[in-house]
Amino acid sequence: MSDTFIIQKSLLCWYRKERRDLPWRRSQDPYAIWVSEIMLQQTQVKTVLPYFDRWMKAFPTVEDLASAPESKVLKLWEGLGYYSRAKNLKKAAGLVRDQYAGRLPSTRKEILALPGIGPYTAGAILSIAFGMRAPVLDGNVKRVLSRLLRLNENGKTSKSEKILWAEAERLLPEEDVGDFNQALMELGAQVCLPQKPQCMICPLKKICQAFLQADVENFPPPKPQPVIQKIEVSAAVLFQNGKVYIQQRVENGLMAGLWEFPGGKIEEGESPEECIVREIREELGPEMEIEEKMTTIRHSYTQFRVTLHVFKGRLLSDNITPTACQSWKWVLPKKLVDYPFPSANVKIIKLLQ
């Protein structure tokens, strides 16, 4: 028996016994599989579960998603981060409805042409939903392959990624490709963990090169650590006649289309109070009177950490000309929950409820 055959057989056998019962694994619907794969990008399974459930209830078909208002789509995504994923899903759903009568196409070329679908998601959909012989390569699979084959590759350069893609493809069985791909990902998520891999219970331990050479800890080679930026920001909760001012972020850039409280980055030598008064003058026009500091919120995003100083206040004139947003509103505090906000702003809303 070849090593490749042993890997395929051992993994499939293990997966059928040990796999987690996840809602998208109970479905053969390519749309449900597509939604789950997009949600799972950079997000853990336990976080995705309630979002997936709510999403499929709100938009059970491609057509439902395509015709939904974007604000509803973003609201259902609120807290999952990387909002471009939700916007691309909706955009792609419109294309699938208009060009493919609501059925996700099943060729690599067509599927890769849809917004938000890259080689990994295409491989996952093609293999899991359509049973096609297409490889997948996510962070879990990269780690498993590097250890299993003792490859000095972490997939961080295009050359290294190419090598891992080729190995992922070489290992694919002729049949049960979807299960095999999911087994590789599941093994990385449940057994071949980044720290403390559970080699003793691993179905591949008899054939895993790093384990057999007792140097699992050296694979995959370490990646350069990303520099986490620290950002200090001031934001204002402005009241007028019992309503609160909110504005919608512009269509391009970070967290595009979400709603927010006005404010911005603190400049060098500026206090949080000076910053919010300046930001409100620049963004809305009038001067702001600070009534109190409501709170300080610390929130971590993938690439940066934000410290958010939140001030309650009022404008000294009703005459506003918002310049840093695509639209703006005065809303009752209890209505704030109807709008999609970035996670740090959601903490302010909870305080206001």
**Least distance from C-beta 2 to ligand SF4, angstroms?**
18
Q: Which of residues 215-234 bind ligand SF4 (CB under 6 A)?
A: 216
CA 324, CA 322: separation in Å to the nearest integer?
6
- Structure-block tokens of residue 23: 């809602």
Torsion (CA) 317, 323, 324, 330 in degrees, nearest 10:
40
Q: Which is nearer to ligand SF4, 78 or 179 (CB)?
A: 179
Q: Which of residues 145-174 bind ligand SF4 (CB under 6 A)?
A: 147-148
Residue from 167, 136, 137, 172 nearest 152 by CA: 167
Contact residues for 210 (Cβ-Cβ < 8 A; gap 6+): 146, 147, 148, 150, 216, 218, 219
CA 42, CA 44: separation in Å to the nearest integer?
7
**Least distance from C-beta 186 to ligand SF4, angstroms?**
12
**Least distance from C-beta 198 to ligand SF4, angstroms?**
6
Q: List C-alpha distances in Å: 107 to 117, 132, 321.
A: 13, 9, 49
CA 351, CA 344: separation in Å to the nearest integer?
12
Q: Which is nearer to ligand SF4, 153 or 260 (CB)?
A: 153
Q: For residue 163, what are the β-bridge partners?
A: none
Q: Which of residues 177-216 bind ligand SF4 (CB under 6 A)?
A: 191-192, 197-199, 202, 204-205, 208, 210-211, 216
How many residues touch ligand SF4 under the rule CB under 6 A: the total is 15
**Least distance from C-beta 320 to ligand SF4, angstroms?**
58
Instruction: Name the residue type at position 285.
Output: G
Q: Which is nearer to ligand SF4, 172 or 202 (CB)?
A: 202
**Least distance from C-beta 40 to ligand SF4, angstroms?**
20
CA 207, CA 210: separation in Å to the nearest integer?
9
**Least distance from C-beta 8 to ligand SF4, angstroms?**
14
Query: What is the set of active-site residues?
Result: 37
Q: Which of residues 89-148 bind ligand SF4 (CB under 6 A)?
A: 144, 147-148
Assess contact for 154 and 145: CB atoms under 8 A.
no
- Structure-block tokens of residue 312: 């309650």
CA 107, CA 293: separation in Å to the nearest integer?
56
Assess contact for 244 and 330: CB atoms under 8 A.
yes
Assess contact for 141 and 188: CB atoms under 8 A.
yes
CA 258, CA 322: separation in Å to the nearest integer?
16
Instruction: Name the residue type at position 155.
Output: G
**How far from chain centre, in Å, is Cα 200?**
32
Query: Crossing angle for the helix pair 70-77 and 84-100, nearest 10 degrees?
Result: 130
**Least distance from C-beta 182 to ligand SF4, angstroms?**
16
Assess contact for 8 and 180: CB atoms under 8 A.
yes
Q: Which is nearer to ligand SF4, 122 or 202 (CB)?
A: 202
Q: What does the binding site for ligand SF4 look like in residue numbers (CB under 6 A)?
A: 144, 147-148, 191-192, 197-199, 202, 204-205, 208, 210-211, 216
